[in-house]
Amino acid sequence: MEIKPTKFINNMLNTGHTNKFEIPSLCPWCGVSFNPTIDRVATFDESDAHTFVLQMHCNYCGKKSINVVIGKDYSNMVQQMLYPAPKARQFDDLLVNLSPRFISLYQSAERAEQIGDLDLAGMGYRASLEILLKDFALKSTDDSKEKIATFNLGVAINKYFGDNPFGMIPADVVRLDANDFVHWDRPDDFDPVMTLEEMKSYLEIFITVVKTRQMIAHPPVKRYKK
């Protein structure tokens, strides 16, 4: 899946008014950018929420998927369930071999995000950063597991990427953005959707930096030496 798994669109859906609701940005069947034909299959209205069951027809692969969206009004209806469920993101073998726990945590955060549990997703992406960073440090330095374990995330970032702004800055953005998902006290104007997108964008940069370092450390071919 791409960095941003969902998007909001406007559609009348034969309701007499414009509805803004969340759908996947990629078809859950074929993975192609998603601009489906949408039909409203069912509507459930309660005093505090409106629920639409949507049938989406992919204009590329022709397959149909089901999306359930819910909102207090029709201008911000959030995806609650999708069939089929999006496939978990797959990672390069270099990262799988370096840090299998990072892969597991990232995919757990991704699942939490897909069902709307943004606080859990933010915590999960932050945890995946720490696991990847420390597994990288364990494999690429002489520091022991016991020593690395004593460092909090901020200290670990500075120690292992302090001389590399391409690694340090993205890691710090993820760490600091994650504070508002983890801590009790956060700004009144906190926007979890925007903050999560920012976190993921910078986490992606950090993942790329680590992958690049692994590619250099483990090239598929080596220069012949006499």
Q: Is the pTM of this model over 0.85?
A: no
Contact by Cβ (8 Å): 131, 101? yes
Distance CA 106, CA 78 (A): 22
Distance CA 17, CA 189 (A): 29
pLDDT < 50 stretches in the chain: 1-4
Beta strands per DSSP E along the chain:
6-11, 19-24, 37-46, 49-57, 64-71, 78-83
15-58 pLDDT tens trace: 677 888 888 888 888 878 788 998 888 888 887 888 999 999 99
Q: How far is the CA of 80 from the CAs of 57, 74, 92, 131, in angstroms? A: 18, 15, 30, 29
Task: Please give the pLDDT value at position 222.
Answer: 79
Give SS3 for 17: coil
Q: How far is the CA of 179 from the CAs of 86, 124, 203, in angstroms? A: 28, 12, 15
Task: Please give the pLDDT value at position 224.
Answer: 62
What domains does the chain contain, in order, with CATH numbers? Answer: 6-83 (no CATH), 93-217 (1.20.120)
